[in-house]
A and B are shown apart, each in its own frame.
Chain A
Amino acid sequence: MRIRHLIAILVAPWLLTAALANPFEMTLKNGLRVIVKEDRRAPTAAQMVWYRIGSMDEVDGASGVAHVLEHMMFKGTPSVGPGEFNKLVAAAGGRDNAFTSRDYTAYFQQVPNEKLAEMMRLEADRMRHLNVDAKEFAQEIKVVMEERRMRTDDNPQSRLFEQMNAVAFQAHPYRRPIIGWMSDLENMSAADAKAWYDTWYVPNNAYVVIVGDVDHREVFALAEKYYGALEGRALPARKPQVEPAQDGTRRVNVKAPAELPVLIMGYKAPILRDVDKDSDPYALQMLAAILDGHDAARFNKKLVREDKVALSVGIDYDATARGPGMIYLHGSPSEGKTVADLETALRAEVARIQKEGVSEPELKRARAQLVAAEVYKLDSMFGQAMEIGQAESAGIPHQKIDRMLEKLQQVTAAEVQAVAKKYFTDDTLTIGVLEPQPLDGKARRPSVAIRH
């Protein structure tokens, strides 16, 4: 049984080695950008529409509205009735869904390539013509509350992660959960969702990514036809909401029905802003690969296999984002060990890199994995569309994705050691601990008692 990845992360957007001209890009007069990557291996296509609007753009009291609006986007326009969007995609032999992150909201369809035009027509329609019906909203908000119960309220690890972010960030909106606080959901109205839509769903706040067995010229013509008529509008100013420097360790404990304690140690970390000039984010990615990139990487080898202090352990770091970054170390202690033992062990692994650095074989191994992953990634058209979309969402031009990979390959042992010293400091650390509680109220075995 593997219980390694506590925090769901998406693979860092590295790859892409197609011919120079591919992907192709154009911008419509209304400001909508269209990025097309031709991939002829199978007669299918993926369309993704990305809006530069996520939970970080919400304000207090309205947390979760970005995600609620995402749900409402399936509830109809003057020309497409409630639920019809899904029906039309299904009739086309397609699959569709959507997701909301801190940074963006994205919608997608995967279809046989001859159905792409219809999907573009449908997405263009709901980009500016959504009905936010009060009756539909009243049902859908209940669905979202059920979603919150399922994903967060009844999931101890999600609750811990939610609480940690609420403590690690104070000024920056990353402190709020994407799904929203329950009280905010209970008090949200259709008018709130409508205002969100009217403010942010405009072509100049979006980009379309299409990957598949298509001709980019034809797709550009279709984009002009369907999206071209939509009017752009000036967007409100977005305030920076810079997170002040953290000056001391913060701790948060969460009690929930569970068996295993969980420890998360989150350090403030840099985010890639300039692909060519920045270096620390690449070095941190390489450090993460050396600590946790395969089954015999340092964390698993030492803490799970040799010392048996942890049942599972991992590291998560996203180098790209609109907001500030964190690097998370996380794990569950073995029976007979405590979270304090695990914390000591994790700190020792970081200290080992700070003192002794990393070896050339370790770096070489991580690079070999990167090169292979670059090929494997091409096995999924959807994965390629995700990669382009995510880079762009963080302000990284998709043309720079290859360059990011090159830079990652060039990371040296000295750079890895330097970032280990620079960023793993107690002053920017937030520690989260899940304290398991018995389901039936009876005391549990003493060996897992928590020391905090």
Chain B
Amino acid sequence: MKMTMKKLLTAVVALLAAHSAMAGVKIEHWVSPTGARVYFVESRVLPMLDVQVDFAAGSMFDPAGKSGTAALTRSTLDLGAGTRDETAIAEQLADIGATLGGGADTDRASIAVRTLAAPEKRNAAIDILRNVLQAPRFDPAIVEREKARTVAGLKEALTRPDAIAGKAFWSALYPAHPYGRQATPESVAALARDELAAHYARYYTAANASITLVGDISRAEAEKIAESLVAGLPAGAAATLPAPPVIAPGNTVKLAHPASQAHVLIGLPAIERGNPDFFPLLVGNYTLGGGGFVSRLMKEVRDKRGYAYSVYSYFSPLRQTGPFQIGLQTKRSQAQDAIKVTRDVLAGFLKEGPSTEELAAAKANLTGSFPLRLDSNKKILDNVAVIGFYGLPLDWLDRYQEKVQAVTVDAVKQAFSRRVRPADLITVTVAAD
């Protein structure tokens, strides 16, 4: 069944991924004997268990010239481990109704299992997860096959205006930082099996791991599971970060494409995880372009002028300075008009900040929607995994509403003036006339 959603909110939701704890969601935290940080939320409502293991092993750790290493390491991790080949892994998971997921982004490589909580199911699922974490084979034939599929996927992406814009945006924002280096068909084709194994050996270690468990088990069971997952990994050392990104001078990148719509991205490197500017930026951005249908960008670009179906802004805090991004798509002939309206909205917001009514509306939504952020095991898992991986305070969720409430118009204006300087903005257009 094909459906048309009124609106795409996925990008906007990215920023919101790290919020909140409902009253009663208690995070238990400890460090395993082998040095992994463990976060556990007991939830007895449904007979199921989610376990996610995160390593600081994302693409920011790709060696220079070897872009794609982290992603390919993660995607081949569960394609053969110990005595299990890739078929055995998939069949045994299916036999117990368990699923294995995860992936790699700029910062993190994640592997997650969802299983029924009954001990025979759970133990079998954890055994597969342990095997995959501790003894991946990186079988050369499978690595070659997955390389070919990845290369084909990258080539396809390079024909798509949205993907082209995204890649150009990150390259322009981070010309001298790993965040700006992207996998290319050539870089992936040149990767060797041993380079994946080396990436695994360096970064998939206990000291570099955080483990999140949510579900129908006791603390004692959680401790046993967590320790069993990392006991066979080398202790290792926490990943060493590259020098932080330096903000590049403002610039416009214009790329040709035959599409009917122009894709426009505007932004700059803005904020890292754990920075106290997060809350004033979060609250302020709700009014600017984060509040879905009620944001200023939506009103001016979509509602008043019909320029775009989707227009949004968000901050994406990462381990190191992550981007602020405005995005929209519009008929190619009106791209320059849409960009002008967008820049005017941004300039007005930077100058005046939100009105007191807008600030109150932002706070009402961000605090009022708090229970919706944690009303499933999956959402609890996502939130707690972010807290664990980025080392945010354990009471971060408990204090979320209070921190939102404390934001003032002045705090928003000051945080934006520190983080979003108009002269530094990078604009990327694909297919704009």
* Chain A interface residues (CB < 8 Å from chain B): 1, 3, 7-10, 41-44, 67, 70-71, 74, 82-83, 86-87, 90-95, 97-103, 110-112, 115, 138-147, 149-151, 153-154, 161, 178-179, 257-260, 293-297, 301, 304-305, 308, 311-312, 318, 321, 332, 334-335, 364-366, 368-373, 375-376, 378-381, 390, 436, 439
Contact = CB atoms under 8 A, between A and B. Distances in A.
Contacts of A318: 1
Contacts of B22: 42-43
Nearest to B142: A305
A99 B95 contact: no
Contacts of A301: 87, 90
A67 B3 CA distance: 10
Considering residues B46, B75, B302, B306, which has the most beta carbons from chain A within 10 angstroms of its beta carbon? Answer: B306
Given A150-B261, A259-B152, A372 B368 contact: no
Contact of A90 (B260, B361, B376): B361
Contacts of A380: 376, 378
Contacts of B48: 375-376, 379
Given A43-B22, A146-B306, 6 more contacts: A1-B153, A86-B293, A147-B4, A153-B260, A257-B257, A332-B152
A414 B365 CA distance: 55
B148 A161 contact: no
B371 interface: yes
Contacts of B154: 1
Interface stretch (B156-164, B191-199, B243-251, B410-418): B156-164
Considering residues B90, B116, B145, B291, which has the most beta carbons from chain A within 10 angstroms of its beta carbon? Answer: B90
Contacts of B26: none
B376 A379 contact: yes
Contacts of A43: 22, 371, 375
Given A90-B365, A146-B309, A100 B3 contact: yes
A93 B370 contact: yes
B307 interface: yes
B374 A42 contact: yes
Interface string B1-45: 111111101000000000000100000000000000000000001
Contacts of B368: 91-94, 112, 115
Interface string B324-348: 0000011100000000000000000
A9 B260 contact: no
B3 A369 contact: no
A315 to B, nearest CB: 15
B47 interface: yes
B97 A368 contact: yes
Contacts of B291: 90
Contact of A151 (B4, B91, B114, B307): B4
Interface string B74-108: 01000000000011011101111110000000000
B148 A139 contact: no
B224 interface: no
8 nearest CB pairs, A to B: A93-B368, A372-B97, A142-B306, A296-B90, A42-B375, A1-B153, A86-B293, A295-B90
B201 interface: no
Contact of B365 (A44, A71, A91, A378): A91
A439 B159 contact: yes
Contacts of A294: 90-91, 93-94
Interface residues of B, number: 79
Given A365-B94, A375-B116, A9 B1 contact: yes
Considering residues A86, A90, A293, which has the most beta carbons from chain B within 10 angstroms of its beta carbon? Answer: A90
A278 B272 CA distance: 57
B98 A372 contact: yes
A45 to B, nearest CB: 10
Contacts of B374: 42
A111 B292 CA distance: 15
A90 B357 CA distance: 13
13 contacts: A42-B22, A90-B292, A90-B364, A90-B365, A95-B372, A101-B2, A111-B372, A112-B370, A259-B152, A296-B87, A296-B89, A312-B149, A381-B375
Nearest to B158: A259
Interface of B: 1-7, 9, 22, 45-48, 71, 75, 86-87, 89-91, 93-98, 114-116, 121, 145, 148-156, 158-159, 161, 257-261, 291-294, 299, 302-310, 329-331, 361, 364-365, 367-372, 374-378
Considering residues B87, B159, B257, B308, which has the most beta carbons from chain A within 10 angstroms of its beta carbon? Answer: B159
A385 B94 CA distance: 26
Contact of B6 (A71, A87, A149, A259): A71
A334 B148 CA distance: 8
B156 A365 contact: no
B372 A97 contact: no
Given A154-B161, A335-B148, A139 B116 contact: no
Contact of B94 (A103, A115, A368): A368
A204 B302 CA distance: 33
Given A98-B6, A372-B97, A379-B46, A311 B153 contact: yes
B4 A83 contact: no
B378 A101 contact: no
A71 B331 CA distance: 19
A259 B156 contact: yes
Given A99-B4, A103-B1, A143-B302, A3 B260 contact: no
Contacts of A71: 6
A95 B329 CA distance: 23
Contact of B7 (A97, A390, A436): A97
B6 A97 contact: yes
Contacts of A9: 1
Considering residues A139, A154, A308, which has the most beta carbons from chain B within 10 angstroms of its beta carbon? Answer: A154
Nearest to A84: B294
Contacts of B308: 143, 146
Contacts of A179: 4
B288 to A, nearest CB: 14
Nearest to A88: B294
B3 to A, nearest CB: 5
A425 B291 CA distance: 50
